Structure 1
């Protein structure tokens, strides 16, 4: 479709069931931590879910060589969500500045609003981006 068709006002929603792998305790091993934490939806996963919801919203507007990368996250996580509930993310494109896209974002669970704020993404040329990663010394596979 192309970015020329992209307009502020685009709204997209997605849902995610909260399972044990999306909780704060499940993240502890990633950071070599043994601190006991409550089994609730992790803030890091909420932000990741917001990012993936924005990516899905933009997919029809990107050319095959284009991707988007996150460049700003200003999100507040204000309520806990237990395992078994579903989280819904809603993103609304509110501004386009050249290749930078600004979204108003929110998340709610089955009971209440759990967070929200602003997220920005930049449209990139995937090949040029990956070439910069290679020059920096990073592998392109894990």
Structure 2
């Protein structure tokens, strides 16, 4: 791969927890807190942001692996910072260490893998599945 990320490259995504990011089963005294699926979406986007310099000329990126521990609860109104640091590059496959923090603590950590892909090739494969 001509263009390649360097080990240590960091992507970041910040957001403020709003009602749309909360768990949908908060009742009977359960506090309204950031849901894991919402958090993962932002953690993946931190990795996407790190790979944006490679996404040109019909290229994009897709997630191919994810392992996340959601360690602490975050209520609405707090800012969360997600960071993805490149830890390994094998051609089009990039591995990341990912973390998320609220103003008080580390709230999630894990690993994530993304692959640089050719958009036209992916579209052709998807179209074939649609008949």
TM-score, length basis structure 2: 0.90
User: In the alignment, what sits opposite 1:10?
Assistant: 9
For residues 25-44 of structure 1, the aligned pairs below 5 Å read 25=24, 36=27, 38-44=31-37
Q: Does 1:56 align with 2:49?
A: yes
Whole-Å separation in 2 of the counterparts to 1:118 and 1:14: 16
User: In the alignment, what sits opposite 2:90?
Assistant: 97
4+ residue segments displaced more than 6 Å: none
Shift of 1:134: 1.1
Q: Secondary structure at the match of 1:57?
A: helix
Alignment equivalent of 1:115, drawn from 88, 91, 108: 108
Shift of 1:54: 1.1
Whole-Å separation in 2 of the counterparts to 1:96 and 1:22: 32
Residue-pair matches, total: 129
Q: Decide whether aligned partners of structure 1 residues 3 and 120 sit closer, same or farther in structure 2, where only a CA change above 3 A counts.
A: farther
What residue ranges of structure 2 are gaps of 5+ in the alignment? none
User: In the alignment, what sits opposite 1:31?
Assistant: none
For each residue in 1:50-81, what CA deviation from the matched residue of structure 2 results, as whole angstroms up to 9, or x when unmatched? Answer: 11111112112222211110000001001000
Q: Decide whether aligned partners of structure 1 residues 54 and 3 sit closer, same or farther in structure 2, where only a CA change above 3 A counts.
A: farther
Whole-Å separation in 1 of the counterparts to 2:120 and 2:81: 33
What residue ranges of structure 1 are gaps of 5+ in the alignment? 29-34
Q: Decide whether aligned partners of structure 1 residues 98 and 5 sit closer, same or farther in structure 2, where only a CA change above 3 A counts.
A: closer
Provide the alpha-carbon RMSD of the alignment. 1.8
> Does the Cα contact within 8 Å between 2:13 and 2:83 map onto a contact in 1?
yes
Whole-Å separation in 2 of the counterparts to 1:40 and 1:51: 19
More helix per residue = 1
> Does the Cα contact within 8 Å between 1:89 and 1:106 map onto a contact in 2?
yes
